Chain A
Amino acid sequence: MKVKYFAWVRERVGKAEEIIEPPATVRTVEELIAWLSARSEAYAYAFEKPKVIRTAIDHAHVKADAAIAGAREIAFFPPMTGG
């Protein structure tokens, strides 16, 4: 699946997007965040406060317990500040 990062999440991870293949045991958004956090210090820094991170699956907002099965694109970003 494709993963995208925006704003300070992108800056901390150090890339705007990537293709990832998490193991089948990673089933929800919060499990994916934990799995990503374990990859490196950059990811751990980006996701150090997982409750602050907002997630979208295929362009729609989802909660941390949302299932990631079948997702084409998952995006992680801080709370929005547009308008």
Chain B
Amino acid sequence: MISPVTTCPVAIRIQEDDFDIAREIAVLTKGRTDIGAVVSFSGICRADEDSSDIAALTLEHYPGMAEEEIKRHVDEAMSRWPLSGVTVIHRVGRFEPGQNIVLVLTASQHRRGAFEAGEFLMDYLKTSAPFWKKEESATGTGWVEAHARDDEAAARWTKS
């Protein structure tokens, strides 16, 4: 049976302002009766990073490329899973523990595609989208180092 053609609206935003998860899900699903699953991932500023206490994180990005790089991976996700909608919001600026940093919403007819696409997008957001975190702690400020575990997480999507 041929699946009905569904639209897949894509929203990619980089902003300083906070986001409202419930509102973003409502926008994504408004007027749609073909969506059976929405997966939401939020990344939140944590108070400790590799056992050092963090007072705040500052997120810097490469304007222009960041949006394009996210779009490239959303396009790839749409080619790999039957998605009905994607929202990616990445905040920039200074954040204290407990504050939202990133939101990825993936909608699909069924849960599997929504779960997998969300995980795929987050793995590539971490390793490929041009954002950098600087952390403030009691001992001073310093750039967060990239983790090999994030590269490994992204690499598994290229294995067949």
Contact = CB atoms under 8 A, between A and B. Distances in A.
A81 B131 contact: yes
Interface string B119-160: 000100111111111100000000111100010000000000
Contacts of B128: 61, 80
A71 B59 CA distance: 27
A51 to B, nearest CB: 13
A78 B145 CA distance: 9
- Number of contact residues on A: which range applies? 10 to 19
Contacts of B143: 7-8, 78, 81
A82 B102 CA distance: 9
A78 B62 CA distance: 12
Interface in B98-118: 101-102
Interface in B51-80: 59-62, 64-65, 68-69
B43 interface: yes
A75 B131 CA distance: 13
Given A81-B133, A83-B125, A83-B129, A59 B146 contact: no
Contacts of A78: 132, 143, 146
Nearest to A6: B62
A82 B131 contact: yes
A77 B64 contact: no
Contacts of A7: 60, 132, 134, 143
21 contacts: A6-B132, A7-B143, A56-B130, A59-B65, A59-B68, A59-B69, A61-B69, A75-B65, A78-B132, A78-B143, A79-B127, A80-B146, A81-B131, A81-B144, A81-B145, A82-B126, A82-B130, A83-B101, A83-B102, A83-B122, A83-B129
Interface of B: 43, 59-62, 64-65, 68-69, 90, 101-102, 122, 125-134, 143-146, 150
Interface of A: 4, 6-8, 56, 59-61, 75, 77-83
